Each structure stands twice: as structure tokens, then as C-alpha cells.
């Protein structure tokens, strides 16, 4: 590698580091909330800043704590929704297909991101 190749590589790494730091330090002023739908109908909307437990039609139990929502219990046989990690970012969701329960995190402000990929 030549001298200018190393300078170019260093510049790209520094620019990527600045972008990464900017993303982590960026303030998100929008209020996040969880919208729960059962069989396509809105069951309820809950603020992520308030710690609470939500019983969903005696089939699921959602726990909201420390700005995250996780499915604590479900009566479905596969338990995929219970094993799913907690959600807290705009666009993330937990889905319990057997009980037709969808938990989606939304924000009160517009987002530049169309989707969240894991």
C-alpha cells in the first residue's frame, strides 16, 4: 500500500467513527409508546416511560419497564413472543401469531427511518 492509500483508509475510518458517535449521542425528543392490537383491532396504547404490566385478553402479559416492553407470558404453545427480546425503538415489534397479538413501538415524532432491521 502506498502513502495515499493509508491516508484515504484513515480518513474513511475517522469519518465512520464520527458518524457512529453522532448516532449514539443524538437526542431523541419524541415520546415513544407501545400500541397493542388484537385481531387487527387496537387494544390499547401505553407510554414506554411508565412502568406497568398489561394483561391482554387473558392470553398475553406485556411488561413495560425501564423504557422497554417485553412479553412476559403467553398461553400459546410455541412461546416465540415470550422468547423475543425487549423492544424500545421506533418500528420494533413483538408478534404472537397464535393469539393474533401485535405489540409495536411508535414515536410521536416523524422518523427518517423506514424500517428497523436486526
Listing DSSP states for 49-101 in one string gives TS-EEEEETTTEEEEEETTEEEEEEE-SSS-HHHHSPPB-STT-EEEETTTTE
Give me the pLDDT at residue 26, please.
Answer: 67
In what order do the strands lie in the sheet containing 93-96? 41-47, 32-38, 101-107, 93-96
50 versus 30: the higher-pLDDT residue is: 50
51 versus 30: the higher-pLDDT residue is: 51
Count of H helices and E strands in the chain? 2, 7
116 versus 41: the higher-pLDDT residue is: 41
How far is it, in rounded angstroms, from Cα 86 to Cα 96? 14
Joined together, the cell numbers standing for residue 64 give 413495560
How open is the CA angle 50-55-61, to the nearest 5 degrees?
85
Give me the pLDDT at residue 34, please.
Answer: 95
pTM beyond 0.85: the answer is no
Amino acid at each position: 500500500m502506498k502513502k495515499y492509500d493509508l491516508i484515504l483508509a484513515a480518513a474513511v475510518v475517522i469519518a465512520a467513527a464520527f458518524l457512529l458517535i453522532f448516532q449514539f449521542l443524538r437526542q431523541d425528543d419524541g415520546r415513544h409508546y407501545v400500541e397493542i392490537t388484537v385481531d387487527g383491532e387496537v387494544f390499547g396504547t401505553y407510554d414506554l416511560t411508565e412502568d406497568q404490566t398489561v394483561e391482554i385478553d387473558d392470553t398475553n402479559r406485556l411488561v413495560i419497564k425501564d423504557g422497554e416492553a417485553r412479553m412476559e407470558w403467553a398461553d400459546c404453545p410455541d412461546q416465540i413472543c415470550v422468547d423475543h427480546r425487549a423492544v424500545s425503538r421506533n418500528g420494533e415489534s413483538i408478534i404472537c401469531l397464535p393469539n393474533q397479538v401485535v405489540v409495536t413501538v411508535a414515536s410521536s415524532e416523524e422518523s427518517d427511518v423506514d424500517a428497523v432491521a436486526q
